[in-house]
Amino acid sequence: MKLTRIVKPLRSVQVRVTLSGDLNAALESYARYYDHVHGESVEPKALIPEILNTFLDADREFQVWRRSGNNASQVHGSAATSPNGIAKAQA
């Protein structure tokens, strides 16, 4: 068959985070910097997904690990991570 398998995109999720005062101030400054560079204002919270995506794309070790298939259990949600970063089983 000439048509390759159609891959369904993963669903988007909403994530709620609490930023420290310093991190929030830095994010607000980054939004002003974005406006300065691009001449277009943007809400600081709109930058979070873009910053995270850019960070993950730039992490070459992560990209190698991700392609290696070692993360299969994490992709399918068989383990959750607590706020302190420790994996825990889902009930």
Sequential DSSP letters for 9-62: PPPP--------HHHHHHHHHHHHHHHHHHS----HHHHHHHHHHHHHHH-HHH
First to last CA, the chain: 42
Q: Where residue 72 falls among pLDDT bands split at 50, 70, 90?
A: low
36-50: per-residue pLDDT in tens? 999 999 999 999 999
| Per-residue pLDDT reduced to its tens digit, 14-25 | 999 999 999 999
Q: How do residues 73-88 score in pLDDT, each as one tens digit?
A: 554 443 444 444 444 4
